[in-house]
Chains A and B, each alone.
Chain A
């Protein structure tokens, strides 16, 4: 992506505008029961070194055997990213020496990854959607965990995470602002969660980002980049990018040169700092792992996985817009989390007439339910109003049994007290009055009691609103507003 960047995304420096260029390497933990090359559990936590086999501890003579589900998950993810699936890929050894890596090398994929180029379409509020290119996705082992604060002179090593499968998803340098980078990670996380290939839980480290940042004059060749390692929240990532871009602009404007280096983000100070200099730069000495044969897949295998992919957020959004005439923004809100979309679909599934009320249901899910959940800090999973209950409320509005206003009272009752909305409407007499005779009597009474206002209304038809209000009040909000409006116009001679 080398199109001219929107001026609003440029950063103003002392000597003119700068464009920030961002590429991301996302490490996503593969959802699987056992590790990439051993039968030990991938469960989070656990006692120290409990989920560790002799393979994970790199005992002499142990051999890795690949977990077929991890391969399937990588292929599913590649398909979800509209990417090239490589039917032949190779595992390599990436050599480095550190206590979190008992083998002395990480089994990874270097020259021949399992997934090649793909794309992710990202939506931003108030902006056009943009596309981020995927460079590649490869499978690799996670490392163990080091605890430095348990002892004055020793580091504690727990290998529970060692050998768990990761997908490293490398983007092209296609992002031009911290907002775009955040939106991309959010979208990628949503896709992974829809696919069920990564739970996306950043607090547990299931999704971590290495962020490559460089700056340049708009349209100039790429500048030298710095890599910010292991950023574990989307918010921190935005802060790290903004800080790093400013730092680089400061150096360049003072006539300095950017050194390519690895940096880390200090969330407390809100700054990045150098981790290791060039002299200590790693020399990974990649070579094909002699313990593992090339990973060969058939097109039939890939096709079978493709046939069983779930509907992804972009397709779901398009379907909601097409079938229920939802606004793009509303459809976007519904599909942004799999749980939200599932809830909406559950409501749809129970509507008496979803073609008629699908849009109404979306409004109720977004405005009333999500609005209330946000206000009270609740999650969809623990919503006091179930999809069945909400569908019943929408049905009651849709078939004219209750008005939208009464429906809000009904929602409140169901939220706090529970119960079947239809039964609540019956027992509490909340039904909308559509009986013409009954409404007519109320209308007549109000006009009779306010002859002066009725006279004014003839000259100033907007006065009818006041009468509607009076009639609704007098009927406890149960009169059908359209009927009231029609009747009033006739009676007042408007």
Chain B
């Protein structure tokens, strides 16, 4: 498996990372090197083995349905670059 220049640009866009055109060939090489490294795993036969997504031998902890958080709008927006009346302000996302 390998990625082409277009895929590199697409991945960068999905991650909202600005990548200059001259950086693309270098990143393409890096990504392909990583993929080649991971590809070694395909040598292992995993037929019939269920994918393991967690190695923690415990059941998931759950919360009771009680309201014990929130009502801290000052804190929530404290680090936002722009706010008004406790709203976050972001550049307009519709025309």
Contacts and interface: CB of A to CB of B under 8 A. Distances in A.
Contact of A293 (B54, B64, B75, B86): B54
* Interface range, B side: 35 or more
A32 B62 CA distance: 14
A57 to B, nearest CB: 5
Given A49-B87, A50-B73, A156-B89, A67 B62 contact: yes
B61 A157 contact: no
A156 B75 CA distance: 17
* Interface range, A side: 35 or more
A147 interface: yes
A65 B63 contact: yes
A151 B88 CA distance: 12
B92 A153 contact: yes
Contacts of A33: 65-67
B65 A53 contact: no
A38 B72 CA distance: 14
A290 B68 CA distance: 25
A39 interface: yes
Chain B interface helix/strand/loop/mixed: loop
Contacts of A292: 60
27 contacts: A33-B66, A38-B70, A39-B68, A48-B86, A50-B71, A52-B73, A53-B69, A55-B69, A56-B70, A65-B61, A65-B62, A65-B63, A67-B64, A69-B64, A90-B53, A95-B14, A97-B14, A99-B90, A148-B93, A150-B84, A153-B91, A288-B54, A293-B54, A293-B56, A294-B60, A296-B59, A296-B60
Interface of B: 10, 14, 16, 53-54, 56, 58-73, 75-77, 82, 84-94
Given A99-B93, A156-B89, 19 more contacts: A39-B68, A41-B70, A49-B86, A49-B87, A49-B88, A56-B70, A65-B62, A66-B61, A67-B63, A70-B65, A99-B88, A148-B92, A150-B84, A152-B92, A154-B82, A292-B60, A293-B59, A293-B60, A296-B59
